[in-house]
Amino acid sequence: MNKQSASPPASVQPIRASEALKKKLAKLGLRNNADLIVHLPLRYEDETRLTPIAEAPPGEPVQIEAVVLSSEIQFRPRRQLVVRARDESGVLVLRFFNFYPNQQAMLAPGARLRFFGEIRDGFFGAEMVHPRFAKVDEAAPLPKTLTPVYPTTAGVAQSALRKLIAQAIETADMEETLPQEMSVALALPAFADAVRTLHFPPAAASLAELESRSHPAWQRIKFDEVLAQQLSLRRAYQARRQRGAPVLQSSGALARRLLAALPFSLTGAQVRARAEIEADLDAPYPMQRLLQGDVGSGKTIVAALAACRAIEAGWQTAFMAPTEILAEQHDQKLRAWLEPLGVRVLWLAGSLKAGEKRTQQAKAAAGAQLVVGTHALIQESVDYARLGLVIVDEQHRFGVQQRLALRKKGGNPHQLMMSATPIPRTLAMSYYADLDVSVLDELPPGRTPVRTRLVTVSRRSEVVAFIARQVAQGRQAYWVCPLIEESEALQLQTALETFEQLTAELTQCRIGLVHGRLKTEEKQATMNAFAAGEIDVLVATTVIEVGVDVPNASLMVVEHAERFGLSQLHQLRGRVGRGSEHSDCVLLYAVPLSQLARQRLKIIFENNDGFEIARQDLHLRGPGEFIGSRQSGVPLLRYADLEADAELVEKARAFTEQLLREAPEQVERHLARWLGGREELLKS
């Protein structure tokens, strides 16, 4: 290795600043020169021109050059420095409420200064409050470029950032990371040009294009950012593929026996997904597949069939769900399906008593065929004898930590992740670039679409009467209590009150209650009673949000629906419409509704398709909030917008494989520039 390649590239050299300043810069995510050069302006100020006082349009930022006429401290209504200054065209009053003695000195009569700010009409004519200002000599040249305004934090002045960034641009590695033919194909400016343009745009550049980030220089930066994300996700995918995994080939006899025992046959979508999964399980590297399907599309049976393959091949399967109640449902269902076929199913959850847990862990270590539970399944103390397949239900609800823990579990098991949160295509390309995806785009036959009604809370009594009629016809209903994010105690109280109120109002009905504070056994007993038809109306907090399956329930009431997320509402609605009976979902809302709340309820009212709802939700909320990216482990894109810049994502994706194959050295530099050390997070 020669000496040059041993030293870090110039781009990742540390910032030269005091320790105190470095700490503050770190808060902005700025740790080296590479970070600085892509710390791009939020907006610009145009100091390339002077505006005569008399011509300055009110309310718009302008630069004035004027000579101070007078400067005095006044006390009406509060202490302030009032400066009058004039240019050829007129007089301007400048008002400062906070000022230092040296600033006052600069503003002495006779001084020539440039002021930058917005003019408004004050009591004494045109005035500027707290303009930025600098002393100038007569005929001092104006800057040739627009002045960048950067995102910053307390204690880091714009001027300091500008200086550091200008230095970084001088010294840092700004070399092109895209191969020539790719740059040509993209028809975007070179990286170095784009960076320079964005930090120091020429006076003639379009402010509108710059600030809306549609300028070609922005396109280039956004492309690079998205490309870095695609490259690192893809690389993580490939790295995992390098690892060997057990080959779970089997005759398929166990799965066939399960299928034969089912009261239904698989949908076309289920058949396709199953085939994709089996092809993965037959391969000598670990499956990394996401099974996506709307609520009720029948993901569980597809997972169970995969488990059959692993079990028949002599390997263990762990089946993990985010909540105990959901895990219990899976446990029951899987037992009902698989125990008659001779499969041993083991329950393992956090709520087990220490002794029981140890016993279960010992059984897992001894090779129990199917272990079902919560994330207790992947805790340190659980050692599997031969873990071949891990199934994760509602995978988006698990955080990075849990995914890391899963990775550390012995061997390299195949992974099947499931999610009912439909991800729009552009988002999926970005967040799931490291996964293969199977989609269940078809619901099992015989489902009747749920009729959704939006009802103001003032008509609550009509809804209660409707429940009474439904129950009289042998149906069952859910009543979901309002979400109170700020306070779990308040949420609980509301649930208790609702329970009491409904018990009083619906004297003919048997009412049950489940909420997050109940012990698992209590929750489970209530859920079982509901499933068995011993409870008519189940009052619940959002614990029933995911996965609950009671086909006879045909009415879902959600109180304060406007407080819920759209995907949550869609999930809740998916709890009904599972049997052959006609189902209703009543969304009770409180008036007045905000504009946004109105739009959201309209979306849920008008759409039954989870993907369409997700698409519109993404449009309303933006990707960050949509997916909860803070815990997804995928670094947020700072500049590109997955929806607005979908085209760039497509392009980056198209180049990813080729770059990894043909230009590994450029990939390294590209990732160092954009991700620095942050890539680790992606590898979970």
- Beta carbon of residue 608, minimum distance to ligand ADP (angstroms, whole number): 14
User: Which two structure tokens, joined as six digits, stand for 7?
Assistant: 């030293």
Residue of 604, 542, 533, 518 lying closest to 567 (CA atoms): 604
Q: Taking CB under 6 A as the rule, which mask of x and - marks residues 410-429 in contact with ligand ADP?
A: ----------x---------
Q: How far apart are CA 638 and CA 39, in angstroms?
A: 10
Which residue lies nearer to Mg ion by CB, 548 or 646?
548
- Beta carbon of residue 299, minimum distance to Mg ion (angstroms, whole number): 5
Cα distances (Å, whole numbers) of residue 510 to 468, 549, 554? 11, 19, 16
What is the tally of helices (H) and strands (E) in the chain? 26, 21
Which residue lies nearer to ligand ADP by CB, 378 or 418?
418
**643 and 618 Cβ atoms separated by less than 8 Å:** yes
**353 and 279 Cβ atoms separated by less than 8 Å:** no
* Burial label, 507 (beta-carbon count in 10 A; 0-12, 13-18, 19+): exposed
Angle, helices 566-573/595-606, rounded to nearest 10 degrees: 30
Instruction: Find the binding residues for ligand ADP in span 521-550 (CB under 6 A).
Output: 547, 549
- Beta carbon of residue 577, minimum distance to Mg ion (angstroms, whole number): 15
User: Which two structure tokens, joined as six digits, stand for 671?
Assistant: 């990732």
Residue of 198, 130, 204, 170 lying closest to 11 (CA atoms): 170
Instruction: Find the binding residues for ligand ADP in span 477-506 (CB under 6 A).
Output: none
Interface residue with ligand ADP, options 32, 51, 297, 316 (CB under 6 A): 297
DSSP category for residue 9: P
Instruction: Find the binding residues for Mg ion in span 22-51 (CB under 5 A).
Output: none
Largest CA distance in the chain: 98
Residue of 282, 232, 391, 402 lying closest to 326 (CA atoms): 391
- Beta carbon of residue 393, minimum distance to Mg ion (angstroms, whole number): 6
Which residue lies nearer to Mg ion by CB, 391 or 618?
391
Verify binding: residue 610, ligand ADP, rule CB under 6 A: no
- Beta carbon of residue 340, minimum distance to ligand ADP (angstroms, whole number): 16
- Beta carbon of residue 571, minimum distance to ligand ADP (angstroms, whole number): 9
Q: How far apart are CA 178 and CA 608, in angstroms?
A: 43
Taking CB under 5 A as the binding criterion, the range among 264-272, 306-314, 539-547, 624-632 that sits at the site for Mg ion is 539-547
Which SS3 state, helix, strand or coil, does residue 69 take? Answer: strand
Which residue lies nearer to ligand ADP by CB, 71 or 270?
270
- Beta carbon of residue 297, minimum distance to ligand ADP (angstroms, whole number): 4
User: Which two structure tokens, joined as six digits, stand for 238?
Assistant: 């490939």
Instruction: Find the binding residues for ligand ADP in span 425-454 (CB under 6 A).
Output: 444
Which residue lies nearer to ligand ADP by CB, 350 or 579?
579
Verify binding: residue 293, ligand ADP, rule CB under 6 A: yes
Taking CB under 5 A as the binding criterion, the range among 15-23, 99-107, 151-159, 540-548 that sits at the site for Mg ion is 540-548
Residue of 371, 345, 394 lying closest to 548 (CA atoms): 394
- Beta carbon of residue 324, minimum distance to ligand ADP (angstroms, whole number): 17
Q: Taking CB under 6 A as the rule, which mask of x and - marks residues 228-267 in contact with ligand ADP?
A: ------------------------------------x-xx
- Beta carbon of residue 303, minimum distance to ligand ADP (angstroms, whole number): 8
User: Which two structure tokens, joined as six digits, stand for 268?
Assistant: 């076309």
**578: Cα separation from own chain's centroid:** 29
- Beta carbon of residue 549, minimum distance to ligand ADP (angstroms, whole number): 5
Which SS3 state, helix, strand or coil, does residue 443 take? Answer: coil
- Beta carbon of residue 387, minimum distance to ligand ADP (angstroms, whole number): 23
Q: What are phi and psi of 187, to 5 degrees?
A: 55, 45
Given CA atoms 193, 195, 197, 200 in this order, what sign does their dihedral have? Answer: negative
Verify binding: residue 298, ligand ADP, rule CB under 6 A: yes
Amino acid identity of residue 433, one-letter, is A
Which residue lies nearer to ligand ADP by CB, 124 or 264?
264
Residue of minimal CB distance from ligand ADP? 298
Which residue lies nearer to Mg ion by CB, 235 or 397?
397
**228 and 675 Cβ atoms separated by less than 8 Å:** yes
Q: Say which entry of ligand ADP, Mg ion, none residue 676 contacts (CB below 5 to 8 A, set by partner kind).
A: none
Residue of minimal CB distance from Mg ion? 547
Q: What are phi and psi of 418, to 5 degrees?
A: -125, 145
- CB atoms < 10 A from the CB of 353, how many? 8
Interface residue with ligand ADP, options 146, 301, 338, 511 (CB under 6 A): 301
Q: Say which entry of ligand ADP, Mg ion, none residue 444 contacts (CB below 5 to 8 A, set by partner kind).
A: ligand ADP
Which residue lies nearer to Mg ion by CB, 286 or 547?
547
- Beta carbon of residue 302, minimum distance to ligand ADP (angstroms, whole number): 8
Q: How many residues bind Mg ion (CB under 5 A)?
A: 1
User: Which two structure tokens, joined as six digits, stand for 354?
Assistant: 């220490």
Interface residue with ligand ADP, options 220, 235, 299, 403 (CB under 6 A): 299
Residue of 391, 365, 396 lying closest to 545 (CA atoms): 396
- Beta carbon of residue 540, minimum distance to Mg ion (angstroms, whole number): 17
The single residue listed with the structure tokens 């959201």 is: 600
Which residue lies nearer to Mg ion by CB, 201 or 547?
547
Q: Say which entry of ligand ADP, Mg ion, none residue 301 contacts (CB below 5 to 8 A, set by partner kind).
A: ligand ADP
Interface residue with Mg ion, options 9, 298, 547, 610 (CB under 5 A): 547
Which residue lies nearer to Mg ion by CB, 388 or 547?
547
Residue spans of alpha helices (H) in 142-267: 158-171, 180-186, 191-199, 207-211, 216-242, 253-261
- Beta carbon of residue 441, minimum distance to ligand ADP (angstroms, whole number): 12
Q: Say which entry of ligand ADP, Mg ion, none residue 264 contacts (CB below 5 to 8 A, set by partner kind).
A: ligand ADP
Q: How far apart are CA 482 and CA 602, in angstroms?
A: 19
Verify binding: residue 269, ligand ADP, rule CB under 6 A: no
Instruction: Find the binding residues for ligand ADP in span 577-596 (CB under 6 A).
Output: 578
DSSP category for residue 221: H
Q: How far apart are CA 293 and CA 267, in angstroms?
A: 12
Binding site for Mg ion (CB under 5 A): 547
Instruction: List residues binding ligand ADP (CB under 6 A).
Output: 264, 266-267, 270, 293, 295-301, 420, 444, 547, 549, 578
